[in-house]
């Protein structure tokens, strides 16, 4: 049904999955090195700062990497124009975003969010957004072997610098945040040189306006995803302090690390389903249905395994100082069972042009997450916050499933066309 054979599709999924798995594994190892080296309190500062900066990073990324993946998958003829416009928007918006963040930071909890950490983290995340935008080009062109290589090299460089700092006995979280900045700069420059050779990077102000209009649903989607995925840690850090954040962060990190499987499937299937939808809608519906069922099975298996291994895993990776994180991890394991089929449903909805409807579901989930977290954070602590994550994830799954069923019904109703 598409210009790619089944072998090519499976090869791209395998390449992106293996590359994502290795890069996420390296990322998790980095966080373990940092946590063991700096201790729970300083690690709480480090992780809470990243969560805070990530919450507002959407102001410079605008969901452009996801929009580019969708547009580039459906029609690659204009990929160079779309990419150039997206690139310059990310670069230019990043400057204003960082300035505003640095001005606001002194009004936050200084114990959890030191200004020097926020400055380093914002620069690092900005460069990472640039690199991810470029990687979306390679994903849209089904060049996921190259994407995987760039991801692995980036995290490998970050790990090497962290190990060097640990060997030198450094215990300052700012040193490890600076290491992240250096690795992000290397990734952005290397990726930029490669895409410049293939597509070029042209400054076309007139092409930016239609890109901004097109990416609005993706920007809103990314903003809501960041809220229900990171707001909890930022709320814990600001309300309960760095020690509580140091307990919650390891559990959240281990859970998020396992998201690599559904995310890899999503990033391969969005351009494939987008292209297939233009050629055969029945094929798209069948493929999406099997994808959802398969990812549900994967999610349940991952959740069961993580819950069973929660206590020994935390002790092994982080040490006895973080034993309280195991109880939180056992609760968060349930998120995996729901996130896997949700991401499969999201791939279909994006590919068929239902992104705007999907944003409404994500907005409800984000509101539920923030409101409930603010209500329970002081009374129920980090365990209550973990349970709120489960509730918001269930809202997300049910909403995506409802949209999927509406889309299936629309395909059977002639007047819907």
Has residue 234 got a pLDDT over 60? yes
What Å distances lie between residue 299 and 116, 122, 153, 306, 309, CA to CA? 38, 32, 28, 11, 15
* Average pLDDT, integer, range 41-52: 80
pLDDT for res 400: 92
Q: CB atoms < 10 A from the CB of 168, how many?
A: 8
Confirm if 120 and 174 have CB atoms less than 8 A apart.
yes
pLDDT for res 417: 37
pLDDT confidence of 2, banded at 50, 70, 90? very low
Query: How high is the mean pLDDT of the chain?
Result: 80
Has residue 348 got a pLDDT over 90? no
Q: Which of 44-48, 166-170, 218-222, 312-316 has the highest mean pLDDT?
A: 166-170
Confirm if 323 and 315 have CB atoms less than 8 A apart.
yes
pLDDT for res 245: 73
pLDDT for res 10: 62
User: Which has the higher per-residue pLDDT, 402 or 9?
Assistant: 402
Length of the chain: 417
pTM above 0.85, yes or no: no
Q: Tell me the pLDDT tens digit for each residue of 299-329.
A: 899 889 888 888 888 888 777 777 788 888 8
Q: Tell me the pLDDT tens digit for each residue of 350-396.
A: 888 887 888 888 889 888 888 898 888 888 888 888 899 899 999 99
* Average pLDDT, integer, range 182-186: 92
């Amino acid at each position: 049904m598409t210009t790619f054979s089944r072998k090519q599709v499976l090869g791209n999924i395998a390449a992106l999955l293996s590359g994502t798995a290795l890069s996420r594994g390296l990322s998790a190892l980095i966080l373990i090195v940092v946590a063991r080296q700096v201790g729970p309190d300083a690690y709480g500062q480090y992780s809470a700062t990243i969560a805070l900066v990530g919450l507002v990073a959407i102001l410079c990324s605008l969901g452009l990497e996801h929009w580019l993946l969708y547009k580039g998958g459906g029609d690659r003829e204009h990929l160079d124009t779309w990419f150039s416009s997206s690139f310059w928007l990310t670069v230019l918006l990043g400057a204003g975003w960082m300035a505003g963040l640095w001005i606001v930071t002194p009004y936050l909890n200084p114990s959890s969010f030191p200004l020097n950490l926020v400055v380093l983290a914002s620069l690092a995340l900005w460069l990472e957004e640039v690199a991810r935008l470029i990687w979306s080009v390679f994903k849209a062109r089904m060049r996921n072997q190259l994407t995987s290589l760039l991801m692995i090299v980036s995290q490998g460089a970050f790990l090497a610098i962290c190990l060097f700092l640990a060997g030198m006995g450094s215990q300052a979280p700012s040193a490890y945040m600076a290491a992240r900045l250096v690795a992000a700069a290397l990734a952005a420059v290397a990726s930029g040189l490669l895409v410049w050779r293939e597509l070029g990077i042209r400054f076309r102000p007139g092409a930016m306006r239609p890109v901004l209009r097109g990416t609005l649903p993706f920007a809103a989607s990314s903003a809501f995803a960041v809220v229900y995925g990171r707001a909890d840690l930022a709320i814990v850090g600001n309300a309960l302090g760095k020690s509580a954040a140091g307990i919650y962060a390891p559990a959240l990190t281990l859970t998020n690390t396992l998201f690599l499987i559904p995310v890899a499937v999503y990033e391969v299937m969005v351009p494939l389903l987008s292209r297939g939808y233009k050629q055969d809608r029945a094929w798209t519906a069948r493929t999406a249905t099997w994808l959802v069922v398969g990812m549900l099975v994967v999610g349940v298996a991952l959740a069961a395994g993580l819950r069973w291994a929660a206590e020994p895993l935390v002790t092994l990776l982080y040490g006895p100082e973080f034993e309280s994180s195991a109880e939180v991890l056992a609760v968060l394991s349930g998120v995996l069972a729901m996130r896997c089929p949700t991401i499969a449903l999201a791939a279909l909805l994006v590919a068929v042009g239902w992104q705007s409807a999907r944003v409404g579901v994500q907005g409800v989930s984000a509101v539920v997450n923030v409101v409930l977290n603010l209500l329970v954070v002081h009374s129920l602590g980090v365990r209550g916050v973990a349970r709120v994550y489960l509730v918001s994830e269930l809202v997300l799954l049910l909403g995506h499933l409802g949209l999927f069923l509406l889309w299936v019904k629309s395909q059977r109703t002639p007047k819907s066309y």
